[in-house]
Amino acid sequence: MRKKSKLFLINGTILTVTSLLMKFASLVFNIYISNQIGSEAVGVFSLVMAVYLFFITVSTSGLNIAVTVIVSEKFAVNKDKIAIKAIRTCIFFSLLLGILAGSLILVSSNFITDKFLHNMVSSKPLFYIAIGLPFIAMSSCISSYFTSIRKAYKNAITQVFEFIIKIIATVILLKINISNGVEYICISLILADVISEVCSFSLIFILYIIDIKFKKLDSVRSFGQRINIVKIAFPVAITSYVRSGLSTLKQLIIPTQLEKSGLSCNNALSKYGIINGMVMPVITFPTVLINSYSMLLIPEFSTYVAQKNYTAINYISNKIFKFTCAFSVCICSIFLFFSNELGLVIYNNLETGYFFKMLAPLIFFMYMDNIIDCILKGLNKQFGVMCCNILDLSVTTCFIYFLLPFWGIDGYIVSIFISELLNFSVSLFQMIKYSKLKLNFVDWLLGPLFCSFVSYFVICIFNFSFVNLTFNLIANICLFVVVYLFTFCIFNKLLIRK
């Protein structure tokens, strides 16, 4: 038992550290690419990626979940050969689904480029996407296999290798094609991604073959567990299709509806690219710091539910909400108070600074909703979380469709607010209903807000004024955070004394 716990912690730490480093490196790389290709190309590429992600959902179709469940179960009862038969079946199914998804995207390529990509690119990027889908699907299954047998470090090795290949391929292809227009930029980015996916699959497949040879299971040639795989994967696939389909539709209609407000096609794609491809990735990046522990809440709360220990649920929830609120308000304040400087330092663009400021208040609701969703999953309310996400996507898509032609880019900002506030409100309502949580606005919200305003007041008095804008911004943000943490600690000590 102690050995298993140690193994769990090691794998968890590896995944957390890898995820943090990879997402930071990915953010820095995306900022570099955005600055190289411009907001219009970012907008077009974001639309292509929305299509890409939907067809990835079709090609995986819940098979990775089936692998995790069946392999974990069979290895736990020493039925290793049955587990290998199941993974072989899932890999074969994923290959077929990847080919099917690729065929669908090729058949519908003219319709997609005409209706959703505004004929800014031809069907060539979609052709390269079709090539990559089978490899992505098979990699997903093998990755779930390594997670199930507690060898997550192999996934980490593969992810790092894939990212390195992607960087090299992107830089080389962009250097060749960046002057040839938006279409060739998109082809370069998609082709680099496909090359990295093929290389990643090759490595993880070799690691899989070595692993089953080491276990002396390479003699297994037959397939198995077809019915169990379908039973697990089918419900996951259907719900994933609905959620991913709505999400893709939502993204694809944004530039079209912006055009109806009077914006030119190029301008609409540029605005969309700035918000979705440049501002949102930076705003959501700090969630990496809370994601590392939020997933650990699921088994924790599952235990409390089984024990019907609602006192512990309330106590833990209050502690989590208190510190998540403090973290969220701090990040929100940084984007609000330093928006123009962040826009100039990151993208050398004041317009991105304007959108940082506009969207900063949403950070609190986005980060809190992330934590609440994990707690609800721990309370065994996954269906409620899924329904909330589908409701959010449906309502937001309707608002985008009807609002943007009249309000333009302001309507899009309003729709983002509606989406996040709706998701947060419904999730919080479910949380209160199922956990009997008592709200504590003074401890959760008023305290961090007070600390934020004190920190801003100090910044206004002792503002650094270095010549270098980047160094000046870092110094002021560091001072803000230090004052915020100091004030937060004092505020909490005063509350405890009372």
pLDDT in tens, 88-127: 888 999 999 999 999 999 999 888 888 888 788 888 889 9
Q: Tell me the three state secondary structure of residue 338.
A: coil
Angle (deg, nearest 10), helices 39-60 and 124-148: 50
For residue 20, is it within any domain?
yes
pLDDT band at 239 (very low <50, low <70, confident <90, very high): confident
Tell whether 234 and 317 lie within a shared domain.
no
For residue 242, is it within any domain?
yes
171 pLDDT more than 70: yes
Cα angle at 424 between 422 and 427, to 5 degrees?
105
pLDDT for 86 equals: 83
For residue 41, is it within any domain?
yes
Mean pLDDT of the chain: 84
Per-residue pLDDT tens digits for 175-191: 998 888 888 999 999 99
**Averaged over 145-157, what is the pLDDT?**
79
- More confident position, 425 or 78: 425
pLDDT for 162 equals: 92
Q: Which residue stretches of 224-361 are H helix?
A: 226-260, 265-272, 280-284, 287-294, 297-307, 310-337, 339-347, 350-359
DSSP 277: I
CB 353 within 8 A of CB 473: no
Q: How far apart are CA 138 and CA 91, in angstroms?
A: 5
195 pLDDT more than 90: yes
Per-residue pLDDT tens digits for 342-358: 999 999 888 999 999 99
Least confident stretch, 252-261, 283-292, 445-454: 283-292
Tell whether 253 and 364 lie within a shared domain.
no
> How many angstroms separate the first and last alpha carbons of the chain?
43
For residue 249, is it within any domain?
yes
**Averaged over 358-376, what is the pLDDT?**
87
pLDDT band at 59 (very low <50, low <70, confident <90, very high): very high
pLDDT band at 445 (very low <50, low <70, confident <90, very high): confident
Tell whether 17 and 117 lie within a shared domain.
yes
Q: How far apart are CA 345 and CA 248, in angstroms?
A: 31
For residue 460, is it within any domain?
yes
Tell whether 177 and 317 lie within a shared domain.
no
* Percent of the chain whose predicted confidence (pLDDT) is above 70: 90
Q: Which of 262, 296, 322 is the last residue of a domain?
A: 262
Q: How far apart are CA 378 and CA 371, in angstroms?
A: 11
Per-residue pLDDT tens digits for 67-93: 877 877 777 777 777 778 888 888 999
pLDDT for 4 equals: 47
CB 412 within 8 A of CB 400: yes
Tell whether 319 and 237 lie within a shared domain.
no
51 pLDDT more than 50: yes
pLDDT for 1 equals: 45
Tell whether 138 and 201 lie within a shared domain.
yes
pLDDT for 307 equals: 72
Q: Which residue stretches of 38-79 are H helix?
A: 39-60, 63-76
- More confident position, 425 or 229: 425
Tell whether 320 and 461 lie within a shared domain.
yes
Tell whether 292 and 171 lie within a shared domain.
no
Q: How far apart are CA 298 and CA 289, in angstroms?
A: 17
For residue 314, is it within any domain?
yes
Tell whether 101 and 197 lie within a shared domain.
yes
Handedness of CA 211, 214, 219, 220 (dihedral sign): negative
Long-range contacts of the stretch 207-213 (C-beta < 8 A, 24+): 207/142, 207/146, 207/154, 207/157, 207/158, 208/142, 208/145, 208/146, 211/146, 211/149, 211/151, 211/154, 212/84
For residue 268, is it within any domain?
no
Q: Which of 196, 227, 262 is the last residue of a domain?
A: 262
Least confident stretch, 2-6, 132-136, 279-283, 334-338: 2-6
pLDDT for 483 equals: 93
CA Rg, the chain, in Å? 24
pLDDT for 492 equals: 77
173 pLDDT more than 90: yes
Tell whether 254 and 137 lie within a shared domain.
yes
Which of 66, 198, 84, 220 has the alpha carbon at shortest distance from 144?
Answer: 66
- More confident position, 460 or 381: 460
pLDDT for 306 equals: 67
For residue 279, is it within any domain?
no
Which of 343, 339, 380 has the alpha carbon at shortest distance from 360?
Answer: 339
Question: What is the domain range of residue 402?
Answer: 286-497
Count up the domains in the chain and report the number: 2
- Cα 399 to Cα 173, 386, 442, distances in angstroms: 38, 20, 33
Output the six-digit token pair for 496: 């405890």
Q: Which of 215, 247, 262 is the last residue of a domain?
A: 262
**Averaged over 406-433, what is the pLDDT?**
88
Residue labelled with tokens 């047998």: 149
Q: Does residue 440 come out as left (phi exceeding 0), alpha (psi in the -120 to 50 range) or beta?
A: beta
Tell whether 248 and 364 lie within a shared domain.
no
Tell whether 223 and 310 lie within a shared domain.
no
* Percent of the chain whose predicted confidence (pLDDT) is above 90: 29
